[in-house]
Structure 1
Amino acid sequence: MTDQKTIVFFPEAAFGPALNSVGIAQACRDMGHRCVFVTDPGFTGVFADYGFEEHHVNMSEPMPPEQMAKYWSDFINGHIPNFNLTPYEQIDNYVKECWEAIVDTSKWAEKELPGILKEIKPDLICIDNVVLYPATKQYGVPWVRIISCSENEIPDPAIPPHLSGCGENDTACHEAFNKKFNEVIKPVHDDFNEFLKTCGEDPYPTGEFFEESPYLNLLLYPAPVKFNREKPLDPDRFKYLEGCVRTEKPYDVPDFGEYNDKPLLYVSFGSLGAGDTDQIKKIIDFLGKQPYRALVNVGEYEAEYDKETMPKNVHVASWYPQPSVIPLVDAVVHHGGNNSFTECLYFGKPAIIMPYVWDGHDNATRVQETGHGFKMHRMNWTDEEFAANIEKCLNDAEVKARCAATSKHMQNNGGPKVAAKYLNDLLEKTYG
């Protein structure tokens, strides 16, 4: 190990990227480095709870922390009517407005981020975001891009466009999505390029909002499900981490009484997806009629659920230590967020993915076409379809064998420790 260095982690203000970075930072801290998080005020305390120093940068108009914490949940909840649309149909609404909001975060951050970095004095900056924050590139130390979303966030002519949910070989879908995305997003992209110009940065090609790091790029996507690219990624600059599962406190499964001998399911649509309580209540009603136990993550909406009428085989909570829960269950139902996607693969658990936005569409398609689970529409399903897919997750020999093989591969790799080694190697190469 090189002498202690200061590593800044700057993940997107969402729990997926944030907690992936925690896993890497835990491993870097174990190597003796000082790990500091730069974050939106709405994430105050998230990283401190894991023992890390936090610095806050406003990425929107300043507001009280409790109001900031609700910014993205309110944004997502406002789009619930669009969740049932196809990825192509979401371009005009959710996708466009999301990119507008993301570009605004880059503009706002540039007001404070340069000063915060000068205060921290990092030796290395790790960014898990989908947009460039110019100050991180211009500070003057090596910067690393972490790709915690689907691998297709790094584009290639032969693979599905990011956010499209297209099949790997469905080139007609690729072309149609790209065409519409570039048309709809062009005003947002033009505005972003104007902002980059004011920061002394070159414009990006249409549809792109970030770039590869010339130093190092870490992909959390596991190799067993990666895409077949026309232009292979440079192995010296692009490293597959096989997931980055953080360490969480142990979890004890609650007593389900007469259902204690039944298969155990875990259901989670993430902190943002929990806002669609109608969807989760529909799933709970279905599970109440099935011969399973179920742990259901309902986020900050626990008060919306009547515990007295809750089925005896269903347990709801506002939060579960997911990396400690998934190893204990038999199958997982989730929204396709990359944490849930990679953690299921890491622990060898088949998954049913019901996506609603962003790369959940890509991961849902990928889990099915690689044989690690099943893709379902988030609302338009029948009890018979849902029950059949759960049974396949529990009993299909090929699915279980494939998940077990992928789990063995990933666990033999040790993503967080491997990431920490790559970062330490870059520090040693830079500073001796």
Structure 2
Amino acid sequence: MIMISNPCDTFHNIQCFTKALKVLFAPTDGWGHINACQGMADGLRERGHRAIFAVAAKFAPKLRASGYEVELLTVTAEGQVLTPGAAANQGENNFVAENLEVFKTSAINVVEMYVKLFGDRLCGALRARDTLFREIIGRFRPDVIVVDTYVSSPYIVYSGVPWVWLYSASPLMMLNDSRLPPAWLGLPTVGNTSEWLKHRSQLEVVFKKCYQKVNEWYESEGFPPLKSTSYCNLHPISPYLNIYMTPEELDYKKVQPLAHNWHRVDSFVRTTDETFEIPECLCNWSGKLILLSMGSFGGSHLELMTRLTTILAKSEHRFIVAKGPLHDKYELPNNMWGQKTLPQTAVIPLVDLVLTHGGNNTVTETFYFGKPMLVLPLWADQYDNAQRLQETGLGLRLNPFHCTEEELLTSIDKLVNDSDLAQRMKSIGDRIRESNDKQFLPQFSKYSQRKLTVLFAPTDGWGHINACQGMADGLRERGHRAIFAVAAKFAPKLHASGYEVELLTVTAEGQLPTPGVDANQGENNFVVRNLEVFKTSAINVVEMYVKVFADRLCSKLRAREPLFREIIGRLRPDVIVVDTYISSPYIVYSGVPWVWLYSASPLMMLNDPRLPPA
């Protein structure tokens, strides 16, 4: 008897005994993607697995500070591949500054600008990393690879290593479904479908060249090209597992359910030891406490940050500001305090409202802590998050470049004074923190396709042998290897069923007499010699059995101890299944996870005063 209600759960639980997995994370270059992967890695590390990150050098210090191994994706003389999505000869600061006027226009113009500028460069930078991925994968031999990217190396996709696609951006682009508006434009989900069609056609034109570049890359390396019905789909679907990250309240219900190998999570909030105390200079101010966080791109936009902080200086409220890369280029008004970067997951729980660019990482973290939001989107999926938040009644959106002073200040006052929204968001935060949406993590090993070696050590009896074989059949169907350690008389049947057998033989005749049977007699003689006892009461039979075989049972099992040590040492099983009344201490304390299958009637095993004795 195994105390699991569903037989299928037995096999999943057996699989959970696998030794620690090596999981290689390969996120795209962006803090939102890095943070989402770290949140997932934290969950796996808590379950005993090993997480390794392959990232550009600028992300390494933070990951190492969190205790992670890091492999640098460095191919240039400076020791770093430039961030895909930043021009080859400029950083994010210059990229934003040189394209400032485009960011002030429409969402479609921003998409066209981005894809046009970086279609070639994105593929080029990723291709430059392909050799590194080959070397890293060959050296580490990971059990699973997690990618959080819009375009993946074909060597990862076709490496033969099971891989998981984590889509940590807003899911609209990933879904790319005609029942929903096209992505990256911030269109309402209830709207003019003819307008959707028009914009979808525009996006197809915009992404076509990039799609062709990805296919040229794949085919030049000898891999199959992408076969999508849309040029916007630059990434293949994983046959193993695909995860997207959005709170349940923002999910797109029209297209649910997705395929069986898709899983939604509310968030992957990373675990940190960072703390934050409200600065003393803000403690003397009245009003609500508000976080302003516009992400690395927004923080690189000096004109925008100056505009926003100038308007917010006229608010009655207090502001904590993530100043960004240009932190030393502008001063904050008296009702604000800020620095280049903030421990965001430590700050959000303290504030009453979050003003944000709407990056998916910040949105999901804010939901996790149950705070309302005002989204000021700059580009891409930020527009979609802003629209989704507003149409679900969980926040507001404004154009950060063109909203008036009155619109911004009035929207802030409306949100911080909305007690119903505050309570609703608090309830959502409570739900997410208590939710079970990451329940797939304990069974993550099944996505690795690791084949377990399971050693069965049943006591000598056909009932026990048959029960173990039934369990072994289920595990074998799932691709695992089952080996039996049994007395020789049970071997032919198990061999005939296709199982490997290790013989527990220690006598000159090549067989250890069955524990529970007199060394000089078989089962037939044992019954014949004790026939009169069997005709009496059950208690007499128990007394006779224990008296005759107590010493012999232990001695025969002890005689098998060296064999178990040798078999376990040689086979190095991942799990041992015992179906016995007495087990070898070497099995129990071998350090190998073990399962007790009690295949007899459970009354003796339960041994409870509320029940009769067995």
CA-to-aligned-CA distance 1:180-213 (integer Å, 9 cap, x gap)? 1111222222222111212312233322200211
Contact 1:345 1:406 in 2 (8 A): yes
Partner of 1:49: 65
Partner of 1:420: 441
Structure 2 unpaired stretches of 5+: 1-15, 84-89, 453-479, 481-614
Alignment of 1:209-358 (within 5 A): 209-230=234-255, 232-234=257-259, 236-248=260-272, 249-256=274-281, 259-306=284-331, 310-358=332-380
What is the percentage of aligned positions where both structures have the same residue? 25
Q: Secondary structure at the match of 1:126?
A: strand
Tell me, yes or no, if structure 1 residue 19 matches structure 2 residue 35.
yes
Separation of aligned partners in 2, 1:139 and 1:216:
16
Q: Secondary structure at the match of 2:226?
A: coil
Tell me, yes or no, if structure 1 residue 149 matches structure 2 residue 175.
no
- Pick the aligned partner of 1:135 from 136, 155, 159: 155
Partner of 1:204: 227
Partner of 2:145: 125
Provide the TM-score with structure 2 as the length reference: 0.66
Q: Secondary structure at the match of 2:441?
A: helix
Alignment of 1:78-89 (within 5 A): 78-89=98-109
Structure 1 unpaired stretches of 5+: none
CA shift at 1:258, angstroms?
Answer: 6.5
Separation of aligned partners in 1, 2:428 and 2:195:
28
Separation of aligned partners in 2, 1:230 and 1:32:
35
Separation of aligned partners in 2, 1:72 and 1:120:
32
Alignment of 1:46-195 (within 5 A): 46-58=62-74, 62-65=76-79, 68=82, 71-152=91-172, 153-170=174-191, 171-195=193-217
Separation of aligned partners in 1, 2:38 and 2:93:
21
Residues 39 and 282 from structure 1, CA distance in 2 versus in 1: closer, same or farther, beyond 3 angstroms? same
CA shift at 1:428, angstroms?
Answer: 7.0
- How many residues were matched structurally? 425
CA shift at 1:64, angstroms?
Answer: 1.5
CA-to-aligned-CA distance 1:289-313 (integer Å, 9 cap, x gap)? 111110011112221123xxx3221
CA shift at 1:402, angstroms?
Answer: 3.2
Separation of aligned partners in 2, 1:406 and 1:100:
42
CA-to-aligned-CA distance 1:130-168 (integer Å, 9 cap, x gap)? 112111112212100001001112322212222121111
Provide the TM-score with structure 1 as the length reference: 0.92
Partner of 2:612: none
- Supply the AA of the counterpart residue of 1:43: F
Partner of 1:370: 392
Contact 1:146 1:218 in 2 (8 A): yes
Residues 258 and 136 from structure 1, CA distance in 2 versus in 1: closer, same or farther, beyond 3 angstroms? closer
CA shift at 1:73, angstroms?
Answer: 4.5
Residues 122 and 72 from structure 1, CA distance in 2 versus in 1: closer, same or farther, beyond 3 angstroms? farther
- Supply the AA of the counterpart residue of 2:76: P
Separation of aligned partners in 2, 1:408 and 1:429:
36
Q: Secondary structure at the match of 2:188?
A: coil
Residues 243 and 231 from structure 1, CA distance in 2 versus in 1: closer, same or farther, beyond 3 angstroms? closer
CA shift at 1:257, angstroms?
Answer: 5.3
CA RMSD of aligned residues (A): 2.2
Separation of aligned partners in 2, 1:239 and 1:10:
19
Residues 430 and 293 from structure 1, CA distance in 2 versus in 1: closer, same or farther, beyond 3 angstroms? farther
Tell me whether 257-266 or 144-153 shows the greater mean CA deviation. 257-266
CA shift at 1:392, angstroms?
Answer: 1.8
- Supply the AA of the counterpart residue of 1:100: D
Structure ranking higher on relative contact order (CA contacts 8 Å, 6+ apart) = 1
CA-to-aligned-CA distance 1:378-417 (integer Å, 9 cap, x gap)? 11111211111111211224432432232222112266x5
CA shift at 1:114, angstroms?
Answer: 1.0
CA-to-aligned-CA distance 1:335-364 (integer Å, 9 cap, x gap)? 010111111111111111111112111111
Residues 430 and 215 from structure 1, CA distance in 2 versus in 1: closer, same or farther, beyond 3 angstroms? farther
- Supply the AA of the counterpart residue of 1:233: L
Separation of aligned partners in 2, 1:377 and 1:104:
33
Q: Secondary structure at the match of 1:300?
A: coil
Residues 269 and 164 from structure 1, CA distance in 2 versus in 1: closer, same or farther, beyond 3 angstroms? same
Q: Secondary structure at the match of 1:229?
A: helix
